[in-house]
Amino acid sequence: MSTTFQLDTATSRANPTPQPMRRLTVPKIGARKVDGVTHDPIVMLTAYTARQAQLLDPHCDILLVGDSLAQVIYGLPSTIPVTLDMMANHAAAVVRGSYHSVVVVDMPFGAYEASPRAAFEAAARLLKESGAAAVKLEGGEAMAQTVAFLVQRGIPVMGHVGLTPQAVNVLGGYGARGRSDAEAEKIVGDALALEQAGAFAIVVEGVVEPIAVEMTGKLGCPVIGIGASAKCDGQVLVVDDMLGMFERVPRFVKKYEGLADTITAAVKTYASEVRERSFPGPDQLYRPK
């Protein structure tokens, strides 16, 4: 049985009296691109917890509750085992921790491929239980009918083409896509089909740069790159990758920090102080009156 979360403004240790602000909307994201040009690039990062959302929200336009939580949060080998319960729970946390960004939640593998109606039931559940604004699904032309079905029934959809991690078993790995002319043509065609079906934005992942540039120029909706091109209408990264939480990351990731080293050093110091009985010290103890 799934759990339905309250969508009221939450309080937390970090933000006990949050100041509500006007949240960005899906139409406002789409409106960033005018006559094929986006003058204000879209900033997008993944988020999986309320605290992450609080820290990222002031600086982002979109927070993606990605099925990458499989590897980042749960230590799974791929995104394939992710469930609707996982996505709904983490999306609800991110919604509670954010007040500005559009929150988009990934549809997990197996939740939308069988039929448009099955996709609608899964997407409706995710939005109702979490309060997120939109869903993201992988796949190109083959998913266009499903995208249209969802959009016509009030569910905003973000597409995802190129390297699609949920199809890793078919693709045979996580290598860059579009190195052949035929594959490049298919990826661009997939994106065009999703736009025509009503997708408000499309993520293009792990492709050779000319494909991303061509796609960005041809599509009227925003194209958000990850391992694609700086010329896309926006960029997205897995937040734990860009913060340096993992030693091994994809080639397209730039590490803006080295938090793994910082955390390791802090825990090492803590462990040493506990063992030598120097923690807790006078500043951490309560004294009788």
User: Which residues does the annotation place in the binding site for 3-methyl-2-oxobutanoate?
Assistant: 67-68, 106, 136
Give the whole-angstrom CA distance, residue 112 versus residue 105: 13
Reply yes or no on whether 205 is catalytic.
Answer: yes
One of 113, 129, 195, 205 is an active-site residue; which one? Answer: 205
- Per residue, what are the HEC states of the chain? CCCCCCCCCCCCCCCCCCCCCCCCCHHHHHCCEECCEECCCEEEEECCCHHHHHHHHHHCCEEEECCCHHHHCCCCCCCCCCCHHHHHHHHHHHHHCCCCCEEEEECCCCCCCCCHHHHHHHHHHHHHHHCCCEEECCECHHHHHHHHHHHHCCCCEEEEEECCHHHHHHHCCCCCECCCHHHHHHHHHHHHHHHHHCCCEEEEECECHHHHHHHHHHCCCCEEEECCCCCCCEEEECHHHHCCCCCCCCCCCCCCCCHHHHHHHHHHHHHHHHHCCCCCCHHHCCCCC
Annotated binding residues for Mg(2+): 67, 106, 138
List the catalytic residues.
205
